[in-house]
Structure formats: C-alpha cells, structure tokens
C-alpha cells in the first residue's frame, strides 16, 4: 500500500490515564514522516457520529499504546470496538501499538500482570476484539517491562497462544496467518 497522502485515524485513547505519554507524540510523528495525514480520534471524548465518520473516512487505523483496560473500556462504551472490527473485516489496514495490539486478542485478562485494570472501573468484561486467535505480548525483554512480561509468559504460556514481541518487532496479520518481523 502506498502511504503517501493516505489518511490514518490515530487513536491515542489508551494514553489518557498514563503519566508518560511521549510515545504518542513519537508515534504520530513517525506516521507523518511516512507521508501520512494524521487525524487524531480520542474515542473517550468523541461523539458516536464523529467516531463512525472518522473511522470510515480514514484509509487506515492506528491504535496507540497505554492502558489496555482503559482503552477497551472506552472502545466498548462508545461502540467503537464494533466499528473498528467492521472496518478491519472490510479490509481496512489497522496498526496496534502495545495496548492497541493486545485488544486484537480474544481477551485482555492475561495482560493484567503488566497493566493496571483498576484504571478502567467501568469495564465489565475482559473480552476483546477477537480479531486474532493469539495473544500479543508486547515489550518482551524490554525495559521496564522485562520482569512483568516474563511473569505473563510463565503464568499464561501453557494456557494461551502468547506471541511475545520486543519493541523492535511487529506482528503482521494476513487472514489467519501471523508473521513476526524485526526492525534491523
């Protein structure tokens, strides 16, 4: 896909309850450097119509990292989870960074050992988008998440199909096939 001039719907919602947010700015700048036009969309504050139209009008979707539980809570609260699922199932490319990748799994319960569920007091279920059958484990072997990621792997590795990735890797999903790529 040629990226120059394409519109990316940039969802920074997961960063809202976090104190450190520099990665959001860096992510947005990286997309702009690729020639993409970035349209920010905070699903927590946008109207349902704004969410629907912005997702529909963009050429691709980028879901930034932060608190996975807060992100899922807000996506579900606004119905954006279903809209994003429909856009992806309709062929729209979607990039999930950290928490933004974890929500593609069937459930986010496993990531509670790395994240803070209490920041999403209205989240009634850990059921996520379920767009992939596996469970991304971001920040594997990367400071400051080394011990937490190892704990997730030790706790859930025998029960779930975890896919550990470092901060220099990405999971490419095409249909039901997953490929891990590494930045040189």
What are the pLDDT digits (tens) for 38-67?
999 999 999 999 999 999 999 999 999 999
Per-residue pLDDT band at 184 (split at 50, 70, 90): confident
Please say if 118 is a catalytic residue: no
Question: Of the listed 19, 47, 53, 139, which one is catalytic?
Answer: 139
CB 84 within 8 A of CB 51: no
Please say if 139 is a catalytic residue: yes
CATH number listed for the domain at residues 7-132? 3.40.50.880
Full-model pTM: 0.95
Predicted confidence at residue 176, as pLDDT, reads 82
Q: Give the integer Cα–Cα distance in Å for 4 and 37.
A: 8
At 128-163, the pLDDT tens digits run 999 999 999 999 999 999 999 999 999 999 999 999
Predicted confidence at residue 1, as pLDDT, reads 72
CB 118 within 8 A of CB 146: no
Q: Domain segments of the chain: what residues?
A: 7-132
Question: Of the listed 30, 48, 98, 161, which one is catalytic?
Answer: 98
């Amino acid at each position: 896909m040629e990226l120059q001039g394409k519109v990316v719907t940039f969802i920074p919602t997961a960063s809202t309850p976090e104190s450190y947010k520099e990665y959001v700015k860096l992510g947005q700048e990286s997309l702009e450097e690729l020639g993409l036009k970035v349209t920010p969309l905070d699903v927590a504050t946008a109207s349902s119509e704004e969410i629907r139209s912005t997702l529909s009008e963009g050429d691709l979707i980028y879901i930034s990292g932060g608190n996975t539980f807060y992100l899922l809570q807000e996506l579900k609260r606004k119905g954006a989870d279903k809209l994003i699922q429909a856009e992806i199932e309709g062929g729209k490319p979607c990039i999930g960074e950290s928490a933004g990748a974890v929500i593609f799994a069937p459930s986010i319960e496993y990531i509670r050992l790395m994240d803070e569920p209490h920041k999403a007091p209205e989240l009634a279920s850990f059921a996520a988008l379920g767009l992939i059958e596996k469970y991304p484990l971001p920040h594997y072997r990367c400071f400051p998440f080394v011990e937490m990621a190892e704990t997730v792997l030790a706790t859930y590795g025998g029960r779930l199909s975890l896919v550990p990735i470092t901060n220099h890797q990405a999971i490419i999903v095409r249909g039901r096939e997953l490929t891990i790529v590494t930045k040189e």
